[in-house]
Structure 1
Amino acid sequence: MRRWWWWECEEATSHFRLFIFILLLCGDPPPPPHEGRIWAAAESRDVTRPCSYRAFIKERKMGLNDFIQKLVSTPHICQHVEVNNFLKIDENQNEEAENDQLPESPVSTRAKILNFGLFLHIRIKPSDFDYLKIIGKGSFGKVLLARHKESTKYYAVKVLQKKIILKKKEQKHIMAERSVLMKNIKHPFLVGLHYSFQTTDKLYFVLDYVNGGELFYHLQRERIFLEPRARFYAAEIASALGYLHSLHIVYRDLKPENILLDSQGHIVLTDFGLCKEGLEPNGTTTTFCGTPEYLAPEVLQKQAYDRTVDWWCLGSVLYEMLYGLPPFYSRNTAEMYNNILHKAPVLKPNVSNAGRELLEGLLQKDRTKRLGGKDDFLELKFHSFFSPINWDDLMAKRITPPFIPSVTGPTDLRHFDPEFTHLPVSSSLCTDTLTVTSSIKEAAGAFPGFSYAPPVDAFI
């Protein structure tokens, strides 16, 4: 059994031990040091060589950051005395932050305390942005076009009111959305999270800014899409859903309003508030949620359902792109629900045989027989409807989109609803009073672990 020399050193402080413990959770323990070496070569890794040492540290750094984010989201662990002391910030420094007496350095105080030469975190606050226009509204707040003052980059900033969230008891959904957003950086058709932070009364998501308009907006204007265009969008949506499913996430709220086009014409899936995490391939859940026009029969019947609800929704959206309305639509909600449960979709011949076959498979009322029920995304990927799609080129965005939105730049808001863009922007959005910094630890309160800022690569 390997002897952990560093743990038994008299000089090892509790903070150092905890740091090493966390570091090891991200990989194998380092062997004892030798003369003139930082660490000896660990098995196949010769960390004494500059390039391999850099790679070794970078790998540990990424794992450590992921672990810390999980650590602060688990209150009973975060309250452990060793962990608490390790992450603790001086109370006087907390008071200074609450009184808006900001340190000169842009790096948060706790990030400095946790600086082991591995990572630093930027301190983000509302006044770091100029809020230009309101571009959307939801149940809990607004989405605004904002420009970061220092970098001049444009973002979509989603500002949510804590009071409303707490009143409706939606904390879990908000934290689930944040969790899903943290995982989206690896997929080209999912909106990305850059920062999240909070004040005493608001939550802020700083997201990719996408100004090509909602799919809903373009469908309203054009009524239907030709089949090649609908196929292109459906392929990008399917790949995004397949990626979420691979992470054991079910989206549950696919609809044209949640599908954006970027300025190049590619799909960007957004709004992850209804996502269900931790659903294994054969797992089910029962929460009744979604949008009426796109609800799967099993959800309507309040039965257990699985990830195939997303394929039902994709079938509904594809049908709407090809035919102009959702497949079971009625102005009378009760009649629409009856249609979903008992009527077959009307498939007119202006769509190809492959297209109609795909719609029949996706809109299968029995989820056990639904397309995607067995092999998930792979069943769609190899369906004849998608035979013109080169999936590698699609993922690399090497396929020219069939439609490119006409936008002159980031401040071109022609594809946003004037109902929103004409609204005044409240000055309270950029108030820093009582700001909770985007620090490592936020275990107390209703939204522990909400804040996030990407590591600054200060060591490598």
Structure 2
Amino acid sequence: MDFGSLETVVANSAFIAARGSFDASSGPASRDRKYLARLKLPPLSKCEALRESLDLGFEGMCLEQPIGKRLFQQFLRAHEQHGPALQLWKDIEDYDTADDALQPQKAQALRAAYLEPQAQLFCSFLDAETVARARAGAGDGLFQPLLRAVLAHLGQAPFQEFLDSLYFLRFLQWKWLEAQPMGEDWFLDFRVLGRGGFGEVFACQMKATGKLYACKKLNKKRLKKRKGYQGAMVEKKILAKVHSRFIVSLAYAFETKTDLCLVMTIMNGGDIRAVAGPRPPSGRSCTETRLGELLAALPGCWGGGVMSCVHGPALRRVLCRPVHCTEPRWAATPAGARLWVSRSRRAGLGLLTACLHLPLPGSSAGGFGARFPALWARAGGRGCGWENRLLLPAEAAELAEEAGWGPVTWTPAAGNVRISDLGLAVELKAGQTKTKGYAGTPGFMAPELLLGEEYDFSVDYFALGVTLYEMIAARGPFRARGEKVENKELKQRVLEQAVTYPDKFSPASKDFCEALLQKDPEKRLGFRDGSCDGLRTHPLFRDVSWRQLEAGMLTPPFVPDSRTVYAKNIQDVGAFSTVKGVAFEKADTEFFQEFASGTCPIPWQEEMIETGVFGDLNVWRPDGQMPDDMKGVSGQEAAPSSKSGMCVLS
């Protein structure tokens, strides 16, 4: 019997069972009740001091942080005078992610609902010039000036009111909970997925929420012996700084006795080279879609001054994330409304089709419009049937909250790609546009890097060109398939050899790849004048909607099988030998403590919302008074009237 293969089968079975099926039906059952009970909001006496240390700016709190945004929107929903601004905000976001064919209709409805003086939701705070431009324009970005005006309005008096409300105190509770130490004991390891230069990557599960992650364990002794401290810290800081749906997110950083651990987005679908392929019936090839997602990832790094893919491995190790979506069927509200939600294969696995049925005004539940005015207004003031529409998971969850039957959550993403390795990335200082160095994967490094010259972001595009060539030709542009080439010879080929293109390349893909692999960086296609328009308008992407791609709304060309583990057999991954002769000093201990910074706010808050923990803990009293958890009153001590699990928001 092959016990190595048996070990892989057993480990894969445990991992697949934890991962659950596509609808994540096993998610709640996989939570550890002991650790879930430790996720408890503190009394205000413990978190009031956070007022002095937190950044209380409107943008950072109410737009960037998921829980802050959710609580601010709940505050607006609970105050009728702010309802029009909130609904306009949401509808502009809905317009920006709508299908091209639906945008004219949505634009007309939006203008009628918010920009006409006689409209019930008329936004009188908007200036005449902004309104006039919104009425006259069309196409992508039409309502962006309007959205900026709405957010500017909400960032003034409404935001100040929010800071004086119970919703802000709830935000302080969540920030206190976010700052609590979470280490090795909070995570359950499954099988090893891969191995790097300093350690291994394991699939793991956050015990309290049941969410799966990848845990990159960097061996402390190996890091010190191979002088890897600086590189490890740079990668950790960059992962914590960059937030993009096309780059893995760092959720936790902690230390164990032997390792420094980075807990990141798990990518279950395997290497991108295994899923790039022929053109599917939809008209977009896997290559076009995957390449578009990689292009969308690069500005996400640059916005933080990060040269992300300079050295090749980051682009080579791009993985696919699977569908992970919980779908309730009919759900009834106390007021008699019902919501049917199902996955829309026509529009993309990452979206949901929702049909909301509201009671007729004359029915026994005819007070629905008065009880839930925002939801009633979004349905156009109509009872018994709201046309099917596409909802982002978060929006559908908000509708469920408005309707009053408690939290409904989905985990978005369906077979999209993310850059998964930033171990050799470079972070530029403020005002710096170029850097110098020599590190990376042979065959991916641009000529100017090989020559020891200063280089800028254009080297990212050379690496992207090599990746595109590999995706289409199943080999690199500077060596034959299976050919072993010495690094010195490979360097000469990159510097001098012209690239040949097999018949697999279409005219558009050949032209695009040639433009990326230009040896002169000044002639290379790339990021110019603060824009990627030269790339995005290339004929190769004629069938790609960049707006929908960046919103994660395009149908993925490949969706991983939830019953398959896309990783090598455990015995093929290999194991490290023991590092000997390394002793730690005070400076090492201080570095480890600095590295182990705990939770990263945005990914942690997303986890709390996606897994339903936020909805479970965000409970308000029906009478609108201060909740018992803020007072420090336990469930046993609370009065019966304050035990309601219903979240009353309007």
Q: Normalised by the shorter chain, which TM-score bucket?
A: 0.5 to 0.7
- Residues 30-78 of structure 1 deviation map (CA, whole Å, 9 limit, x = unaligned): xxxxxxxxxxxxx94366634775787899x7xxxxxxxxxxxxxxxxx
Residue 159 of structure 1 pairs with residue 309 of structure 2 = no
What is the CA–CA distance in structure 2 between the aligned matches of 1:48 and 1:348, rounded to whole Å? 62
1:155, distance to aligned residue in structure 2 (A)? 1.4
Distance verdict in 2 for CA 1:27–1:57, change over 3 Å: farther
Distance verdict in 2 for CA 1:241–1:57, change over 3 Å: farther
Residue 398 of structure 1 pairs with residue 553 of structure 2 = yes
Residue 417 of structure 1 pairs with residue 568 of structure 2 = yes
CA contact (8 A) 1:136 1:420 kept: no
Residue 250 of structure 1 pairs with residue 307 of structure 2 = yes
Residue 176 of structure 1 pairs with residue 239 of structure 2 = no
1:351 corresponds to which letter in structure 2?
A: F
Q: Secondary structure of 1:283's match?
A: coil
1:332 corresponds to which letter in structure 2?
A: V
1:156 corresponds to which letter in structure 2?
A: A
Distance verdict in 2 for CA 1:421–1:338, change over 3 Å: closer
Q: Secondary structure of 1:157's match?
A: strand
Which 10-residue stretch deviates more, 311-320 or 175-184? Answer: 175-184
Counterpart position of 1:348: 502
Residue 444 of structure 1 pairs with residue 613 of structure 2 = no
Q: Secondary structure of 2:239's match?
A: helix
What is the CA–CA distance in structure 2 between the aligned matches of 1:310 and 1:47, rounded to whole Å? 41
2:569 corresponds to which letter in structure 1?
A: P
CA contact (8 A) 2:178 2:599 kept: no
Match of 1:127 among 181, 185, 188: 185
Match of 1:142 among 200, 206, 213: 200
Which 10-residue stretch deviates more, 305-314 or 331-340? Answer: 331-340
CA contact (8 A) 2:428 2:435 kept: no
Distance verdict in 2 for CA 1:422–1:48, change over 3 Å: closer
Counterpart position of 2:539: 384
2:496 corresponds to which letter in structure 1?
A: H
CA contact (8 A) 1:122 1:454 kept: no
Distance verdict in 2 for CA 1:253–1:385, change over 3 Å: same
What is the CA–CA distance in structure 2 between the aligned matches of 1:157 and 1:225, rounded to whole Å? 33
Counterpart position of 1:85: none
What is the CA–CA distance in structure 2 between the aligned matches of 1:269 and 1:197, rounded to whole Å? 22
Q: Secondary structure of 1:195's match?
A: strand
Distance verdict in 2 for CA 1:156–1:241, change over 3 Å: same
CA contact (8 A) 1:364 1:370 kept: yes
Residue 187 of structure 1 pairs with residue 244 of structure 2 = yes
CA contact (8 A) 1:443 1:449 kept: no
CA contact (8 A) 1:162 1:201 kept: yes
Distance verdict in 2 for CA 1:132–1:300, change over 3 Å: same
Q: Secondary structure of 2:287's match?
A: helix
- Residues 306-360 of structure 1 deviation map (CA, whole Å, 9 limit, x = unaligned): 1111100101100111112111125222332111000121123442222222111
Counterpart position of 2:456: 306
Q: Secondary structure of 1:156's match?
A: strand
Distance verdict in 2 for CA 1:177–1:218, change over 3 Å: same
Matches within 5 A, 1:193-208: 193-208=250-265
Residue 277 of structure 1 pairs with residue 430 of structure 2 = no
Distance verdict in 2 for CA 1:391–1:281, change over 3 Å: farther
CA contact (8 A) 1:250 1:277 kept: yes
CA contact (8 A) 2:232 2:423 kept: yes
1:259 corresponds to which letter in structure 2?
A: V
Residue 49 of structure 1 pairs with residue 161 of structure 2 = yes
Which 10-residue stretch deviates more, 284-293 or 399-408? Answer: 399-408
Match of 1:326 among 476, 484, 496: 476
Which 10-residue stretch deviates more, 236-245 or 146-155? Answer: 146-155
2:522 corresponds to which letter in structure 1?
A: T
Regions of 4+ moved over 4 Å: 18-28, 50-59, 115-120, 224-227, 279-282, 419-426, 454-460
Counterpart position of 1:90: none
Distance verdict in 2 for CA 1:370–1:235, change over 3 Å: same
**Percent of pairs with identical residues:** 26
CA contact (8 A) 1:132 1:425 kept: no
Distance verdict in 2 for CA 1:308–1:149, change over 3 Å: same
Aligned residues: 353
Q: Secondary structure of 1:292's match?
A: coil
Q: Secondary structure of 1:49's match?
A: helix
> In angstroms, what is the RMSD of aligned CA positions?
3.6
Where structure 2 has 5 or more consecutive residues not aligned to the other structure, the ranges are: 1-48, 60-154, 323-413, 578-587, 606-613, 618-628, 631-650
Distance verdict in 2 for CA 1:322–1:450, change over 3 Å: same
CA contact (8 A) 2:516 2:524 kept: yes
What is the CA–CA distance in structure 2 between the aligned matches of 1:58 and 1:281, rounded to whole Å? 39
Q: Secondary structure of 1:197's match?
A: strand
- Residues 166-203 of structure 1 deviation map (CA, whole Å, 9 limit, x = unaligned): 2222212111111111123x311111111110134310
Distance verdict in 2 for CA 1:282–1:321, change over 3 Å: same
Residue 372 of structure 1 pairs with residue 526 of structure 2 = yes
What is the CA–CA distance in structure 2 between the aligned matches of 1:231 and 1:277, rounded to whole Å? 28
CA contact (8 A) 1:249 1:279 kept: no
Counterpart position of 1:339: 493
1:452, distance to aligned residue in structure 2 (A)? 2.1
1:204 corresponds to which letter in structure 2?
A: C
2:245 corresponds to which letter in structure 1?
A: P
Q: Secondary structure of 1:380's match?
A: helix
Match of 2:512 among 358, 365, 388: 358
Matches within 5 A, 1:8-87: 22=53, 44-45=156-157, 49-50=161-162, 53=165
1:308 corresponds to which letter in structure 2?
A: S
1:205 corresponds to which letter in structure 2?
A: L
CA contact (8 A) 1:135 1:417 kept: yes
CA contact (8 A) 1:311 1:362 kept: yes
1:127, distance to aligned residue in structure 2 (A)? 2.4
What is the CA–CA distance in structure 2 between the aligned matches of 1:176 and 1:292, rounded to whole Å? 22
What is the CA–CA distance in structure 2 between the aligned matches of 1:350 and 1:425, rounded to whole Å? 40
CA contact (8 A) 1:285 1:305 kept: yes
Where structure 1 has 5 or more consecutive residues not aligned to the other structure, the ranges are: 1-17, 29-42, 62-114, 427-441
Greater relative CO, 1 or 2 (CA 8 Å, sep 6+): 1
Distance verdict in 2 for CA 1:361–1:55, change over 3 Å: farther
CA contact (8 A) 1:198 1:451 kept: no
CA contact (8 A) 1:175 1:447 kept: no
